[in-house]
A and B are shown apart, each in its own frame.
Chain A
């Protein structure tokens, strides 16, 4: 391969890093859009129109997240990702401008291809250039925000402001004229609704120019004045900023390995998650209070609240500390070489992370509940939704509330364990297997989404669509993993007893909640009973999957 110029070389590198993500975006948009259109093609015109609107959202949404894969280049560290190019004889403007142009043009192109395809196949007038231009603008701003600073707080704030402004603009344009009895932007209005004025393109040009200028100036500072950015990266640990980790100063116990490991987990990841959760719980009322009087920024507070919950969940999931560097995943060799059993290590990691994630989630949840109850007085639909949840919880007996607490607590631990195990297995096994698993999950989510759109509700929606695959898979996976865990000496009879006890407690609580939800198991066919009770197996599955997956990544 011969790369004829630095520009081609930079483009090639950026393409190599982002090509899989670009493919995912394209596939997700097209497959999702076509599926929605196909499923509802035989329905009434109103529903068909609505499905076209969903398809439009599906092809726009993937470009709303920025480029996740670019973080591979600097191992997730903040700052300009192509820092290895600093020592090349290339001007900073080129170094910044070329990848920025690529990262803006590619999502626009992906959107255009998806929209054209849907336009041709469905006949709906999916908008082309105006939306593509705004997608490009959003991605330019994301790039500039992420590259201009190594301060994560500023990066997050910048991204939130950019996406908030973008959503607000879209909301303003699409809902400019209210249509009674329908949403405000049905497909027959798209040609006019999306016919943005020429000033938009001037504004997009100005945004791009300003973003480029800021990014060049700031990256030039990193290149010339900020020595750490120019140094080769040392092998770091995944996770939280060191300043946050060292916020909690308490000595490492030397009396036992278990206590030392708990200290390690608490300090390195558990307490930072809890601290972030508490901080978000404090910030939520502030954001609601500030945005409440101004109607058009009020959605920002709702977005922030949703992002708070997501943030705690996302920060809480990588309990095994798998780290990604230059596209490869590793377990920490430092921890892997400590004289500690794999099952106990997995147990401590999952428990400590769960114990910290649960209060963080509760704090954020309570803060959002308080905000919606006392601050956002005007949002009637939110308040009514809230009342439904409050009514349902209030109607539970004391015993049922204990069951709910048990299911929630063990459920969080199960979620942490399963996601940590998935991260470990994704790091351990080939990409093809990961893609297959990803496609299955995508299929599952898509089926759920389509059923929800088609009016299905409740617990049947959650577990119904692929029941003939999920329930047997869960049973066989649990049996196989239990056998492997015993064969590999990961589980002892004593720990197996503890696991069984926890599973029984969860199962009992689960059945109690099913009854509280009005599900009469006695009146259901046996297959449905088995399928509805299958989630009770999850704690058992997680308890054997977590140590087994950690073992697979510890001893590759």
Chain B
């Protein structure tokens, strides 16, 4: 069996009394784009930091390319590109110095690719990092992360600070190129539409646990959003099989549910209602339903 690029098993990590990761397992294979979604503090960045060896596993195991990133940082980091959420770069460096410095660590550095990207981003190589805006820092960090054509690209909130055009056109293109070359991308994001657009796989993390993980198409197919109408008036959400979240009130409700539509229809029918319309749920709807954010009754206007 092919060795996964990333193999995390039963990983736990706590900071003081707060469990940041709670027996989390995750695998990533070649040539795929993995999107991590979750609320603030869910544990996405903590998970990514374990991949880089910036955090030591308190329990469980972390393997990247079959190596422990804490015991063998060179073996792992030489094959990884990383863009941090904080865009931490030495402010005194010029952009060309940053490129030269990063190049020295990576014999696989593709100078022409780096130059092309700098031109695409319209980044002046003679400018100091200090003089760059937040978005430009992100762009410089992104070039430094991808120009050695890493086998694993890890992006922590890559869109933060990037404008819509750069985000949509350039970031997507870079990520797609990396994946099409048979390499792996793992990125975290708050922007669910971005995850939906870029990912092949999606993993939802909530309170340090994986609440949902799978190929994006499978995930989306596994959840529907249906509008149901009942004969009877309900003050509270009616109890329906496989319903994860309900909105509405009285006789009309919108329900995000998992499982087969037929089974859900039977469940609605049993309460004297009918499914008026149904469609695949969006990732955002699934996320909100799984995160338990949308269970309250909303009065119909």
Interface size range on A against B:
35 or more
In the bound complex, residues from chain B placing their C-beta under 8 Å from that of A554 are 53-54, 73
Q: Quick one: CB contact mask for A244-272 with B, threshold 8 Å, 1 for yes?
A: 01100001111111011101100110000
Q: Are A339 and B97 in contact (CB under 8 A)?
A: no
Within the complex, what minimum Cβ distance (angstroms) separates A266 from chain B? 12
Cα–Cα, bound, A246→B91 (Å): 11
Closest beta carbon of chain B to A309's beta carbon, Å? 27
CB distance from B283 to the nearest CB of A (A): 29
Q: Closest chain A residue to B81 by CB distance?
A: A337
A246's nearest neighbour on chain B, judged by CB, is: B92
Bound: A554/B260 CA distance, A: 48
Count chain B residues whose beta carbon lies closer than 8 angstroms to a beta carbon of A: 37
Contact B101 A342 (CB under 8 A): no
Asked whether A257 lies within 8 Å of B105 as measured between CB atoms, the reply is yes
Q: Are B103 and A254 in contact (CB under 8 A)?
A: yes
How far apart sit A278 and B101, CA to CA, in the bound complex (Å)? 28
User: In the assembly, what is the distance between CA of A251 and CA of B97, in Å?
Assistant: 7
Query: Nearest Cβ in chain B — how far from A79, in angstroms?
Result: 16
Interface centre among B55, B56, B97 (most CB of A within 10 A): B97
Chain A residue at smallest Cβ distance from B102: A338
B90 touching A556 by the CB < 8 A rule?
A: no
> Which of A245, A253, A337, A488 has a CB less than 8 Å from the CB of B92?
A245
CB–CB A489/B104 < 8 A? no
In the complex, whether B206 has a CB less than 8 A from a CB of chain A is no
Within 8 A of B (CB), among A263-297: 263-264, 267-268
- Are A555's CB and B53's CB within 8 A? yes
Determine if A257 and B104 form an interchain contact, defined as CB atoms under 8 angstroms apart: yes
Please pick, from B87, B101, B106, the residue contacting A252 in the complex, using a CB distance under 8 A: B101
In whole angstroms, what is the CA distance A261 to B105 when docked? 9
Q: Of B71, B77, B90, B106, which contacts A337 at CB under 8 A?
A: B77
Closest Cβ of chain A to B124, distance in Å, is 16
Q: Are A337 and B54 in contact (CB under 8 A)?
A: yes
B84 in contact (CB, < 8 A): yes
Chain B 204-240 residues near chain A, CB threshold 8 A: none
- Asked whether A235 and B87 contact (CB < 8 A) given A337-B77, A339-B77, the answer is yes
Smallest CB gap from B94: residue in A: A246
Contact B91 A260 (CB under 8 A): no
Given known A242-B130, A555-B70, contact A340–B90 (CB-CB < 8 A)? no
Q: Do A235 and B92 form a contact, CB below 8 Å, given A242-B128, A255-B104, A339-B74?
A: no
Contact of B89 among A254, A255, A334 (CB under 8 A): A334
Given A555-B55, A556-B56, A339 contacting B89 (CB threshold 8 A):
no
What chain A residues lie within 8 Å of B105 (beta carbons)? 257, 260, 338-340
Q: Which residues of A contact B97 (CB under 8 A)?
A: 251-252
| A552 CB to nearest chain B CB (Å) | 9
Q: Is the CB of B104 within 8 A of A256?
A: yes
The answer on a CB contact under 8 Å between B74 and A336 is: no
Question: Does A191 have its Cβ within 8 Å of any Cβ on chain B?
Answer: no
Interface status of A237 (Cβ within 8 A of chain B):
yes
Give residues 323-349 of A contacting B (CB, 8 Å). 332-334, 336-342
Check if A236 is an interface residue, CB within 8 A of chain B.
Answer: yes
B52 and A268 contacting across the interface, CB-CB below 8 Å: no
Once bound together, how far apart are the Cα atoms of A338 and B105, in whole Å? Answer: 7
Bound CA–CA A263/B104 (angstroms) = 11
| Interchain CA distance A267-B89 in the complex, whole Å | 15
Q: A253-B104, A555-B53 are in contact. Are A235 and B88 (CB under 8 A)?
A: yes
Most chain A beta-carbon contacts within 10 A, residue among B71, B91, B92, B97 = B92
Contact B91 A338 (CB under 8 A): no
Residues on A with C-beta less than 8 A from B271 are none
A87 within 8 A of B: no
**What residues of chain A have their CB less than 8 Å away from a CB belonging to chain B?**
234-237, 242, 245-246, 251-257, 259-261, 263-264, 267-268, 332-334, 336-342, 488-489, 554-556
List 10 tightest A-B contacts by C-beta distance, closest first.
Answer: A260-B104, A339-B78, A339-B77, A252-B100, A245-B92, A555-B70, A242-B92, A254-B103, A257-B105, A254-B104
- Can you list 11 A-B contacts with CB-CB less than 8 angstroms, sorted by A residue number? A234-B134, A237-B90, A256-B104, A264-B101, A268-B92, A334-B90, A337-B52, A337-B54, A339-B76, A339-B80, A340-B74
